[in-house]
Amino acid sequence: MVNQDFYSDSPWAGKRLQRIILIIITCFIAFLFLPWTQNIQSDGVVTTLRPNERPQSVQPVIAGQIIKWYVKDGDLVKEGDTICVIGEVKSEYLDPGLIGQTSAQIQAKENSVLSYSSKIDAINNQITQLEANRDFSIQKAKVKFEQEQFKYQSEMAELKAAEVNAKIALQQLVRDSILGQKQIKSPLDIENRRVKYQEANAKLQIHKAKLDIARNAIENARIELQNIKVEYGEKLAKTESDRYTAISSQMETESEIAKLRNQYSNYLIRNGFYVIRAPQDGMISQTLSNGVGITVKEGQSICTIVPSNVNLAVELFIKPVDMPLIEVGSPVQVIFDGWPTMVFSGWPEMTYGTFPGKIYAVDNVLNEKGYYRVLVKADDGKKPWPKELKIGVGSMSFMLLKRVPVWYELWRQLNGFPPDYYHNNRKDTSENAKSK
């Protein structure tokens, strides 16, 4: 108690306290004017820049039964190495001679096409022969028709001559009858004239009958000519129908050949799917289908491959309010889980254990959680990222923005304002404007 009273009553104690308070205030004010680097913090995870460098599952193209495994977890494989072999499970592909039988079917169909081609050629020759026979028969019928016409004209001339003879015989009979009444001609002469008249009249009737026969012959020749055209027209039409039927059958057979060739190619390609190979260099990390004899479906994952050569990146998720501040190429400080660090977010030059990077790409759409995805890659020429990094390692990133005083940053944080939007060339632009 004595000591406390002594110090409380001492004049040096108040001065010392004032000096300490003044020093604290002075340091606090100086601290407020220290430079502070604004930043945006975001958690992320290590990934790769290219999709083909990320872990991928190996999937069979066809359904099958696993027969034999050639790898195990942790094995390094090259592109094209055999991972496993599967067997067929679908009934339509179980026949071991399926490819040979399909090839034989194709050969048989090709022979059918050749037969149809020969048949079409034979039908074409038959059509040519029918056309030649038709032309010959038509020409022959036309000649006969013309002959019948000439015969008709001849009969017509003979009929006219017979009519003249009959008329003359009638006139002679009438004249001799008159002379017989006058007893100038004897009854025998009159009787002879009557006989001649009857003969002339009989010839006239005969020529009329012949003329009718000639007329009927012309009509028959015309009908025969028409029948020849109709008959050969029917034969040619039937032959043409047979030709088109053969052509149609040939085209159908060619279509069947195309289908069989397609099946044949599919069977050959399917045989190559029984051996599942590594799509790229990497390490087998997981075998999801264990054992032998297990049936797997097409598209079902049987194992996972982690690529060997990858370009690592950090995948970040940014709030929409910070999105206008993000630019491709902006610097980023990255912290990886498992690496010791000492972080001063406002003073990046005093930070230890961070790795430099820069923004590589920014998505233009929000994800399902309402964030924008940002990819950050290593900044070439600066501190390299650890070689021991693996895909999936957690990280924290600081995207560096404008340098401002500490008091301004505190004022901004208290008022809930976003960081200042800063471009690298904004200062240069303003200085150029002032100089102008």
- Supply 30's token pair: 């100086």
Asked if 285 and 73 count as a contact pair (C-beta separation under 8 A), the reply is yes
Asked if 391 and 435 count as a contact pair (C-beta separation under 8 A), the reply is no
Task: Say whether both 196 and 300 belong to one domain.
Answer: no
Confidence of residue 388 (pLDDT cuts 50, 70, 90): confident
Task: Say whether both 413 and 340 belong to one domain.
Answer: yes
Which pLDDT value is given to residue 164? 84
Looking at the DSSP assignment, which residues form a beta bridge with residue 40? Answer: 399
Task: Say whether both 112 and 259 belong to one domain.
Answer: yes
Count of CB atoms situated within 10 Å of the CB of 292 = 12
Confidence of residue 264 (pLDDT cuts 50, 70, 90): very high
Which pLDDT value is given to residue 424? 43
Which pLDDT value is given to residue 401? 62
| CATH number of the domain to which 119 belongs | 1.10.287
Looking at the DSSP assignment, which residues form a beta bridge with residue 47? Answer: 313
Which pLDDT value is given to residue 105? 92
For the stretch 31-85, pLDDT in tens is: 666 666 666 778 888 888 888 888 888 999 999 999 999 998 888 999 999 999 9
Pairwise pLDDT comparison (343 vs 102), residue with the higher score: 102
What range does the domain containing 68 cover? 64-77+274-305
Task: Say whether both 331 and 378 belong to one domain.
Answer: yes
Which pLDDT value is given to residue 2? 43
Asked if 174 and 197 count as a contact pair (C-beta separation under 8 A), the reply is no
In a domain, 93, yes or no: no
Domains identified in the chain, total number: 4
In a domain, 430, yes or no: yes
- Report DSSP state, residue 321: G
Asked if 214 and 152 count as a contact pair (C-beta separation under 8 A), the reply is yes
- Supply 12's token pair: 């040096």
| CATH number of the domain to which 422 belongs | 2.40.30.170
Task: Say whether both 251 and 128 belong to one domain.
Answer: yes
Task: Say whether both 366 and 232 belong to one domain.
Answer: no
Question: By three-state DSSP, how is residue 59 classified?
Answer: coil
Task: Say whether both 240 and 113 belong to one domain.
Answer: yes
In a domain, 92, yes or no: no
Question: By three-state DSSP, how is residue 308 classified?
Answer: coil
Task: Say whether both 281 and 396 belong to one domain.
Answer: no
Minimum mean pLDDT among 61-75, 124-138, 358-372, 419-433: which range? 419-433
Which pLDDT value is given to residue 107? 92
Task: Say whether both 249 and 283 belong to one domain.
Answer: no
CA-closest candidate to residue 88, choices 65, 59, 61: 65
Distance CA 361, CA 329 (A): 9
Boundary of a domain, candidates 305, 320, 346:
305
Which pLDDT value is given to residue 34? 64
What's the number of CA atoms in the CB half-sphere (13 Å) around residue 94?
Answer: 5
* Residues of the chain above pLDDT 70, percent: 82
Distance CA 209, CA 61 (A): 96
Count of CB atoms situated within 10 Å of the CB of 310 = 20
Task: Say whether both 241 and 123 belong to one domain.
Answer: yes
For the stretch 175-224, pLDDT in tens is: 777 777 777 667 777 777 778 878 878 888 888 888 888 888 888 888 88
In a domain, 187, yes or no: yes
In a domain, 59, yes or no: no
In a domain, 431, yes or no: yes
Distance CA 325, CA 403 (A): 14
In a domain, 89, yes or no: no
* Residues of the chain above pLDDT 90, percent: 17
Arithmetic mean of pLDDT, 245-260: 92
Task: Say whether both 281 and 378 belong to one domain.
Answer: no
In a domain, 87, yes or no: no
Task: Say whether both 116 and 230 belong to one domain.
Answer: yes
Looking at the DSSP assignment, which residues form a beta bridge with residue 66? Answer: 86
